[in-house]
């Protein structure tokens, strides 16, 4: 499976926010989208997911536009999600909606169980989503997207509310699911070091453009300075590059 974003342009009220975005990803890839606030990262996810319609350019999955099957192809977790009067179990079951008939069948329930187990949410499966912590809620919305069994998982700052342990758990799971199920994960992140640890590919955005893309090697002190205006060293700890601001 291949995702190709080709020449995507988008404007809000006439001001250009995405300018000719082009990249490709393949089954199993974890792609980190990096860049400063306002670079256009969330807008890019929303264009891929067809929530926003690009002014120009196309999003192709295996060479075709997605059309009516958006929810079967893309699982999207926005930056902020609220809880409501629904249990964690039901919230995750909602992810099955694009595949479900009127009622959930055995397979739907089995997938929900499996995902709850994977995300460590079984313990709170019957709690209301408005009575759980921000971090737990974040895991629930990711679990819902996984229950959707998407080909492409679009995650907007998924580790935002999470403590250190949960940040690593979530990123490890995203990576595991990508590798085991061949899902393409596109993850907007602010923590460059978390990205370096878990992503295979990097898209670095500034002012609506991709200014660098490729493997870990694209993250250089020069790039960090250009994108964030920060002087930094890149050290290696146990073989993993770590950005250390000076």
Q: Which residue ranges make up the site for ligand ATP (CB under 6 A)?
A: 12, 17, 35, 37-43
Nearer to ligand ATP, 47 or 173 (CB): 47
Taking the complex as a whole, how short is the minimal distance between the CB of residue 111 and ligand ATP, in angstroms?
30
Taking the complex as a whole, how short is the minimal distance between the CB of residue 37 and ligand ATP, in angstroms?
3
- Considering Cα of 74, then 203, then 210, then 158, what sign does the dihedral take? positive
Taking the complex as a whole, how short is the minimal distance between the CB of residue 49 and ligand ATP, in angstroms?
13
Q: Is 196 left (phi over 0), alpha (psi -120 to 50) or beta?
A: alpha
Nearer to ligand ATP, 18 or 88 (CB): 18
Nearer to ligand ATP, 39 or 73 (CB): 39
CB 242 within 8 A of CB 196: yes
Taking the complex as a whole, how short is the minimal distance between the CB of residue 221 and ligand ATP, in angstroms?
22
Taking the complex as a whole, how short is the minimal distance between the CB of residue 59 and ligand ATP, in angstroms?
16
Nearer to ligand ATP, 12 or 214 (CB): 12
Q: What is the CA radius of gyration of the chain?
A: 18
Task: Report the alpha-carbon distance of residue 189 to residue 187 in Å, rounded.
Answer: 6
60 strand-pairing partners = 4
DSSP letter assigned to residue 157: S
3-state secondary structure of 102: coil
- In the block, tokens 């079984």 appear at 122
Nearer to ligand ATP, 77 or 116 (CB): 77
b (16+ CB within 10 A) / e for 142-167: bbbbbbbbbbbbbbbbbbbbbeeebb
Taking the complex as a whole, how short is the minimal distance between the CB of residue 39 and ligand ATP, in angstroms?
4
Task: Report the alpha-carbon distance of residue 30 to residue 178 in Å, rounded.
Answer: 7
Nearer to ligand ATP, 153 or 203 (CB): 203
């Amino acid at each position: 499976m291949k995702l190709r974003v080709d020449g995507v342009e988008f404007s809000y009220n006439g001001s250009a926010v995405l300018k000719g975005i082009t990249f490709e990803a393949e089954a199993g890839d974890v792609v980190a989208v990096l860049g400063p606030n306002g670079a256009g990262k969330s807008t890019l996810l929303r264009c891929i997911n067809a929530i926003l319609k690009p002014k120009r350019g196309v999003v192709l999955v295996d060479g075709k536009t997605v059309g009516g099957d958006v929810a079967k192809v893309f699982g999207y977790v926005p930056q902020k999600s609220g809880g409501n009067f629904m249990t964690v179990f039901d919230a995750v079951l909602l992810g099955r909606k694009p595949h479900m008939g009127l009622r959930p069948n055995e397979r739907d329930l089995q997938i929900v169980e499996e995902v709850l187990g994977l995300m460590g949410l079984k313990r709170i499966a019957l709690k209301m989503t408005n009575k759980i912590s921000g971090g737990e809620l974040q895991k629930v919305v990711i679990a819902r997207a996984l229950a959707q069994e998407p080909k492409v998982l679009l995650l907007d700052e998924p580790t935002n509310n999470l403590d250190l342990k949960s940040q690593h758990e979530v990123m490890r799971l995203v990576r595991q699911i990508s590798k085991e199920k061949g899902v393409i994960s596109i993850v907007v992140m602010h923590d460059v070091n978390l990205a370096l640890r878990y992503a295979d590919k990097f898209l670095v955005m500034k002012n609506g453009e991709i200014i660098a893309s490729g493997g870990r090697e694209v993250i250089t002190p020069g790039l960090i300075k250009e994108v964030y205006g920060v002087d930094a060293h890149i050290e290696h700890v146990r073989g993993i590059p770590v950005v250390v601001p000076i």
